Amino acid sequence: MNKAYLLTGGNTGNRRAHLHQAIELINQFCGQVLKQSSLFETGAWGNTKQASFLNQALLVSTTLTPDELMLKLLFLEENMGRVRLEKFGPRIIDIDILLYNREVFHSELVTIPHAELANRRFALIPLIEIAPRAKHPVLKKSIQQLLKECSDELSVKKIS
């Protein structure tokens, strides 16, 4: 079995319900969600003139390869109503693969570890909660160390 760390997020509609629905769909189509972080309210990254996001990290046990998993996640996003109109724009759901086992993987579909993981507090903080000993397989640093070094100043507040 493979262990994938995912980050879910969204800033439109009933954000909490959308994250819950994403967990149900991931369980149904991708593997078993073993752990989930608290919910975190975060400022919008990239395009800051929009509503704040709810984000949650998940640990998923899966038999899928990184490409297979990414294809399923994109299908789930579309199934939930995500429409990609603008980069960093508002969205009902976003599901990213942050880490996959301890692997480094790159294809046309996905880069693992996530290319921006070390630069985003809204990903690092929930990830630390469910994977305190995880290490970035390229930078060879703990997630905790990456958070200490992260220059991102957006607000990340635990809400549950």
What is the enclosing helix (H) or strand (E) of 150?
none
Instruction: Find the catalytic residue in 16, 84, 94, 121.
Output: 94
Residue 152 among the catalytic residues: no
The residues pairing with 153 across neighbouring beta strands, listed in sequence order, are: none
Give the type of residue at 51: A
Among candidate residues 113, 99, 91, 115, the one with its CA nearest the CA of residue 60:
99
Catalytic residue chosen out of the listed positions 15, 16, 67, 96: 96
Q: Of 67, 84, 91, 121, which one is the catalytic site residue?
A: 91
The answer to whether residue 67 is catalytic is no
Alpha helices in 4-84 (DSSP H): 15-29, 66-79
Q: How far apart are CA 8 and CA 38, in angstroms?
A: 12
Question: Which of these is catalytic: 15, 16, 67, 82?
Answer: 82
ω before 132 within 30° of 0 (cis)? no
Beta-bridge partners for 41: 54, 157
Show which residues are catalytic. Answer: 82, 91, 94, 96
